Amino acid sequence: MEPRQSRAGAIPEDGLTRENPRYALKITSLLMLLGAISAVAFPYLGYSFQGQKIDALDYEGRVKHILDTTPLIDGHNDLPYLLRIELQNKIYDAEEFNFWDGENMIFLLAGFMEAGFWWDETEVDWCPDTRHFDDPDHAVRDTIEQIDVAKRLFAHHSTNLTYCTTSACAISSFKSKRIASMLGAEGLHQAGSALASIRQFFLLGVRYITLTHNCDNAFATAASTVTAGGKDNGLTEFGYAAVKEMNRLGMMVDLSHVSHDTMRDVLRVTRSPVMFSHSACYALARSYRNVPDDVLSGLRENGGVVMVMFVKRFLNAVDPESADMQTAVDHIFHVADTAGWEHVGIGADFDGTVTLADGIDDVTAYPRLIQAVMERGATDGQIRGLVGENILRVWRDNEMNAAAFEAAGELPVEDVWVERRFSRWDNPLPLMLPGNKKRVKAENYV
């Protein structure tokens, strides 16, 4: 079974309808994907609308039909980080935090949110005191805490939320009219410069990781470094090992926040489709945070998806305050025109910023956004890909490739970061391998 890059529309009919126990344990830091699949494109989901005809100019009716049959997947929601900084992850006091009856769930239950990736972020995202990537910090601990609070939230509201670690689960959750809830991690700094952390995050349910957040790490160069005048070094040697291991696991590689050369390096070596969970187009807004056209074009071969964000300064770098819904639509069409409609999605960055494009304050704006895309000439099929089918294809292909690597006997990658410093207890210990020159030395003992 050969690993595959995702091809437009090439989702096997038996793929998304089968639960596979080998994928039962997967996902990463918190992010909200609101997603699903249309009965028109995927008839095996059991939805039939034969005979229903909607006038081409009835935009409202067409939008309603699409959102009734295709759950919308938003690639990036930062709500779990707000749980950390406002509640210190204490979520059970209904008087203080009534999640289900409150504003957050009103947004989700507006009739078109059926799945979501929740991002796990920690306060080390901005690298306040890091001098060396091997310096001890609390990143791994804090990431585990955010994975924990997200999963506790899902469980506490399980009547309406479904914790999902597979693309098939997202489909079945949609069919049962519950909100599929998945996990992502925003930055490999959260892995503590260790591939073992990536593996354990996957076992804890994380399904995608952004290679960097707003600073460099042991794996890759961040866009913010280049913005500040630093050199774009792309992926490090250790970063190549991380991409290989993420492909092996079925962990989606997220390229939002990374430098342009990091994007290019990953596209050269990845064995599975990539994602940009919340990005925009460099050609329209010249911020290094955005995706250049050559990378967009490369997605045609790779099969990946750019999920367009709605943060003002990344939609319009010259006059951010003028960015509105039509500006966001401009970016959606630029991705579609350059990479193809099979490679565009939505990744708003809700709950992670207060500078959203005018007219897109929360998820209740999605029907209007989709109608704006429709009024510019997008077909219903293209819009179904935009709202959910494209990212589900990418996720499913990552799962299938991981199964192929496992079947081929591929072992976990054991690379260690070149500047890793090992320490040990300063005490006499037995020799496992006599004469072993690799043995870590203690200060006073062999």
189 part of the active site: no
Residues for the chain: how many in total? 446
257 part of the active site: yes
232 part of the active site: no
Annotated active-site residue in 76, 189, 331, 343: 76
Annotated active-site residue in 189, 257, 260, 331: 257
| 8 Å CB contact between 256 and 347 | yes
The amino acid occupying position 212 is T
76 part of the active site: yes
Per-residue three-class SS string for 374-412: HHCCCCHHHHHHHHHHHHHHHHHHHHHHHHHHHHCCCCC
Distance from C-alpha of 80 to C-alpha of 99, rounded to nearest angstrom: 12
Distance from C-alpha of 258 to C-alpha of 184, rounded to nearest angstrom: 16
Q: Which residues lie closer than 8 Å to 64 by C-beta, 6 or more apart?
A: 367
157 part of the active site: no
Distance from C-alpha of 265 to C-alpha of 323, rounded to nearest angstrom: 31
103 part of the active site: no
Per DSSP, the three-state class of 350 is: strand
Annotated active-site residue in 330, 349, 380, 399: 349
Q: Give 405-408's long-range contacts (Cβ < 8 A, gap of 24+).
A: 405/3, 405/247, 405/248, 405/271, 406/22, 406/248, 407/1, 408/1
- CA–centroid distance for 86 within its chain: 23
159: left (phi over 0), alpha (psi -120 to 50) or beta: alpha
Q: Which helix (H) or strand (E) holds 307?
A: strand 305-308
How far is CA 50 from each of CA 39, 58, 140, 385, rounded to the nearest angstrom? 10, 18, 51, 20
Distance from C-alpha of 291 to C-alpha of 298, rounded to nearest angstrom: 11
278 part of the active site: yes
Annotated active-site residue in 216, 254, 265, 278: 278
Distance from C-alpha of 138 to C-alpha of 115, rounded to nearest angstrom: 30
Distance from C-alpha of 391 to C-alpha of 26, rounded to nearest angstrom: 16
Annotated active-site residue in 121, 142, 186, 380: 186
Distance from C-alpha of 403 to C-alpha of 285, rounded to nearest angstrom: 39
DSSP code per residue over 195-245: HHHHHHHHHTTEEEEES-SSS--SSB-BHHHHHTT-----B-HHHHHHHHH
Annotated active-site residue in 137, 142, 189, 213: 213
Q: Active-site residue numbers?
A: 76, 78, 186, 213, 257, 278, 349
